[in-house]
Structure 1
Amino acid sequence: MPMFDYEEKRKKINNVTKLMEEGDWRSVLEAFEGNEENREPLLVWIRPSLSLVHFIEQELKKLNISKISSVGCGCGTLEWIIQQAVPDLEVIGYEVNKGWWESKHSTPHYIPLEYVDDKGANLELPSDSALLFCYFNNLEFFNNYIKNYKGDCVILIGPIDGKRHCEPQPDYLEEKKDWEIQSRMLLDGGDEIAIYIRRNMF
């Protein structure tokens, strides 16, 4: 990678994290607006937007859910934006490798993180929260989390344009007998958010 590109990338990351420190979530969203050059995987895999935040807020209100548990959230930029923009939503992140995320070398995180084992086989996730996976990338571990989750809402965010990959993809739960699609939304940059509810919820 050319030195200029590296320096520009670090400058952008530093600028966004500074805005997060200041609590300026609207300016953080503005930093991701525009074209694909404004995608920054070290902070968040998608290009977050105010319309995405409003979509999540409105759909969870329909379900009377006020908590989000985000598995594999990384540094939690998307989750931080949601928390700041919608204070009534409580957001917590789950990650592996505490040694990395608490080290001076990691990308700063500004949401609470709970650390779990890699496979998530024994993790009991809060049943009163929606379960969020954004660009998650291990189907075996995902199925472990879903198996242990007793709540009624799963949110999947990922690519649908074939240019990037994640497991599960946003349509993964469509054919599963326990889940049905509640709503979905296309995101800038070839991504999609899909919100599923448990079939026996109502």
Structure 2
Amino acid sequence: MEDSFINTVVKLHKTKNWRDIIQNYHDHPERNKLLWVYPSEENLDFLKKSLADLKCDNILSIGCGSGLLEWIIGEATGFPLKGIEVDGVWWQCKYAPPTFIPLLFTSPELDKDTISILQNGGTTALLFCYFNNRPAFENYLNVFSGNVIVIIGPGEGTGVHTDPLPFDDVSNDWTLYKWQEVRSSKDFICIYIRSNNNARNEM
């Protein structure tokens, strides 16, 4: 059966009309078929300014799924963006949802190419959106050489669990720098810096 919601978003993607996607479909009943979080332009401006202030010049998204969020962020902010996924078989099969950015595939144990990207991530912001795998999260952070991570996920009382959660769910190696709610959704964008970084801790 034809999926009009997905087809509409695919058409908007082809014409680079990210604004219509976030303005018109953030509360669509089928929105989670492609994306859990639909940021507002204010959220995207917040992310752009915060990462620029922290001297980041690109974003690497871990577990990016379809890549729709990453494409929106890239179009809105101008930051070069890559997405990593572990299940290459699924995302390349005919039953998978459409993808909106080229995906880099790795194994759950991290292959040498992914490790190299992480180890050379000095100006990279590492993004986790609705991530739900604590051991994998720790593995990525253990290799990552950069100073900035972004966690997007649900706040308390939403009935949705992620691992890590956006607040107070990282080691003491990381300090909360800034945060902002996504619209009034009880989802939050939390930006963390390494605790030995000189960037200002601000809420």
Same fold (TM over 0.5): yes
Distance 2:147 2:175 in 1: 10
Q: Which moved more, 1:67-76 or 1:92-101?
A: 92-101
Distance 2:132 2:15 in 1: 31
Distance 2:136 2:109 in 1: 5
Could you tell me which of 81, 84, 95 is aligned with 1:94? 84
Could you tell me which of 21, 25, 36 is aligned with 1:45? 36
Q: Is the 8 A contact 1:69 1:94 kept in 2?
A: yes
Could you tell me which of 84, 87, 108 is aligned with 1:118? 108
Residue 38 of structure 1: CA displacement? Answer: 4.7
Report the count of equivalent residues.
Answer: 191
Which runs of no fewer than 5 residues in structure 1 stay unpaired? 1-5
- Partner residue of 1:192? 188
Q: Which moved more, 1:118-127 or 1:76-85?
A: 118-127
TM-score, with length taken from structure 2: 0.86
Could you tell me which of 54, 68, 76 is aligned with 1:77? 68
Distance 1:201 1:111 in 2: 31
What is the root-mean-square deviation of aligned Cα atoms in Å?
A: 1.9
CA gap of 1:76–1:139, structure 2 versus 1, over 3 A, is: same
Residue 170 of structure 1: CA displacement? Answer: 0.2
**Superposition pairs for residues 123-202 of structure 1, below 5 Å?**
123-124=114-115, 125=118, 126-127=120-121, 128-160=123-155, 161-173=157-169, 176-187=171-182, 188-202=184-198
- 1:14 equivalenced with 2:2 (yes/no): no
- Partner residue of 1:3? none
Runs of 4+ more than 6 Å apart: none
* Per-residue CA distance 1:51-71 (angstroms, 9 max, x = gap): 111111010011111100000
Residue 48 of structure 1: CA displacement? Answer: 2.1
State the SS of the aligned residue for 1:23: coil
- Partner residue of 2:96? 106
